Amino acid sequence: MSGELVLVTGGSGFLGAHCILALLKAGFRVRTTVRSASREADVLAMLKVGGAEPGDALSFAHADLMGDKGWPEAVAGCRYVLHVASPFPPGVPKHEDDLIVPAREGALRVLRAARDAGVERVVLTSSFAAIGYGQTPVAGQPFTEENWTNLSEKVSAYVKSKTLAERGAWDFINREGGSLELAVVNPVGIFGPVLGPDHSTSTDFIKRLMDGEMPGLPRMVFGVVDARDVADLHLRAMTDPAAKGERFLAVSGDFMTTREVARTLKARLGNAGSRITTRVLPDWLVRIVGLVDRQAAQIVTELGKPRNATSAKAMRLLGWTPRSQEDALVATAESLIRLGLVKRSR
């Protein structure tokens, strides 16, 4: 590695910042994209919380997924690119293209710039959303990298955006990628240490639990993985020859129910978990709420589905070993407390 330069898109995001931390620790120089100079201070503040003072090892480039300006300069001189940036809103957008267009066109824009600059490999951050939706999960059969989300069925705008972006990336590599290599990481819900007030939708779920904002829990399951492990998998996919042309699910253990998540936190946090409910809402109530709440409407179609996934491929090919789900969840909660981002118990 010896100071090789890596571009991380979206360094002001939760996962982007963890990827920068992992790269700096491994001895790489990092350039990261932000949409404006005003976000540079936010990135540096998050890295400081993560224990890094990068100095000259970190530089910034200004570029937006919706425009070509700045991307040639961003990728210049880089051996690798981690394309992490992608919209992930807490609610449902008014128009699905508000998510789909930036995700797909942004990925293609980064790939073109990387190819033209002679980058060796791009690692694209996709999602389990591109693997396990639009189909009925079968109990006892976890989803793998061989699965693709079926867009002929009704899925959310976010799920559609991640699926179309990844499909578009593979199509680009096959048609016009030249010598550019591609590897893809497909994480489930990303948790782990929060580095600042601008964190992720997944970690916000933990915050809402701890703040007592959830009167009950919907009967659904989801995967858990720590951001530090997702960043580690990005680095392995970036440098390991076995990762060329492959996609890798990132999940720690079996999927968990919302009640299991709540019980884990209550058991490990003591008084700090006093506001967390473990009461499960009846499906009929969740469905009624979904009729009037656009964000809750996304949950309705997932009630009671026995979805699961496996990271056996990443473990086998790349030697990836994630920490436990419980440790990832507790690290999220403890960091929210440490940064003063949850309400104080009375």
Residue positions annotated with a catalytic role:
162
The tokens for 7 are 């571009």
d(CA 85, CA 64): 10
d(CA 18, CA 193): 9
d(CA 50, CA 32): 16
Q: How many CA atoms lie within 13 A of 336 on its CB side?
A: 29
Nearest by Cα to 309 from 261, 256, 259, 251: 251
The tokens for 128 are 């389990």
d(CA 28, CA 8): 11
Which amino acid would we find at residue 287? R
- 47 contact partners, CB below 8 Å, separation of at least 6: 17, 20, 21, 24, 53, 54, 58, 195
Alpha-carbon dihedral angle through residues 330, 333, 336, 339, given to the nearest 10 degrees: -50
Which amino acid would we find at residue 244? K
Sort residue 284 into left (φ over 0), alpha (ψ -120 to 50) or beta: alpha
